[in-house]
Amino acid sequence: MYVPHARLITRFRENSEVDIFSRITEINHWIGEENKKDIIFGDIAAGSSKNAKKCLFGPSCWANVGYNKRIQFVSLDKNGCIRPGIIQHELLHTIGFNHEQNRSDRDDYVTIIYKNIVKGAEYNFVKMDTNNLGTMYDYSSVMHYGRYAFSKDRRSVTIIPKPNSRIYIGQRYGMSHLDALKVNKLYNCKICGGLYRHEAGKFTSPNFPNLYPNNARCTWIFKTSHDRKRVFIQFTKFQVEEFINCYSDRVIIHDGDDALAPVLEGPTCGGENPAVISTRKSLFVQFYSAQSWQAYGFSAKYEFGNIVFKL
């Protein structure tokens, strides 16, 4: 599915328009400079309305799902929709993404309480035959409804995560890392990072063993579904441009499956080879490079091992 360059025809207050374009910029950042020929939101020739996305004030937040040969409408209520995650949520609809709780495998991760849904809104919870792009279910997706979505009385829960019913769902702060990964995979963009499960292997910084590029933003997720297994990462080569407190180029390793998890290692730079073992079932690795410095980067191996308890 090809999504052309898009022109925004807006009717917003100045600060609202700035906020919308800032969210578009974030999506472009996730996609990366080298992939902007594949999918981008931005300006096209003035005066042309072909394949434009028309943003307008409406009674609610909504957008057409997928490419439309005519003008695609994105409705953003100025009193409730001009928020970072909501804007990105609707823009992701326009490039083909449905809600996370509609995934074909959703019954393994959430329970839908239909009796608590307001009459006429049940269609929002229909399970679909979706292409999940080889990614795991994402409770933190900006495309996931909250637990009280379309509640008949605003107090009754309509979605219950499982097996842990206390998991937070419905965030609208912005795209999750898995949201970005799915966009890149759907449009066959070059991905700096990835999701790895179960099998041992290696990963490297971009262009390794040559110099990594400026302005790199890479994320890797290592995750096992086995309660007694942990993730082990050993950097075998490590040369990241050194700066005070690793403020410039850096590697950060989180003890969990996203950037909100506790930091296990980092920010790290320089020439020492880090090694880490997760205390949970996943590790989240981030790599950033600045505008002006370059080095040869890193190579690392990872594996998933069993916990051994000594008596």
For the chain, how are helix, strand and coil distributed in percent, rounded to 5?
Answer: 20, 25, 55
Q: Which residues contact 238 (CB under 8 A, 6 or more apart)?
A: 270, 271, 272, 273, 274, 298, 300
d(CA 130, CA 148): 24
Secondary structure E strands in the chain: 8-9, 53-56, 62-63, 72-75, 110-112, 159-161, 193-197, 201-204, 217-223, 229-239, 250-254, 263-268, 275-277, 282-288, 297-306
């097996």: which residue's tokens?
163
Which of 90, 122, 242, 303 is catalytic? The answer is 90
Q: Which residues contact 79 (CB under 8 A, 6 or more apart)?
A: none
Q: Is 144 annotated as ligand-binding?
A: no
Q: Is 226 annotated as ligand-binding?
A: no
Is residue 266 helix, strand or coil? strand
Q: For residue 240, what is the DSSP state?
A: B
Instruction: Answer yes or no: 26 catalytic.
Output: no
Q: For residue 122, what is the DSSP state?
A: G
Q: Is 93 annotated as ligand-binding?
A: yes
List binding-site positions: 89, 93, 99
What residues are annotated to the active site? 90
List binding-site positions for Zn(2+): 89, 93, 99
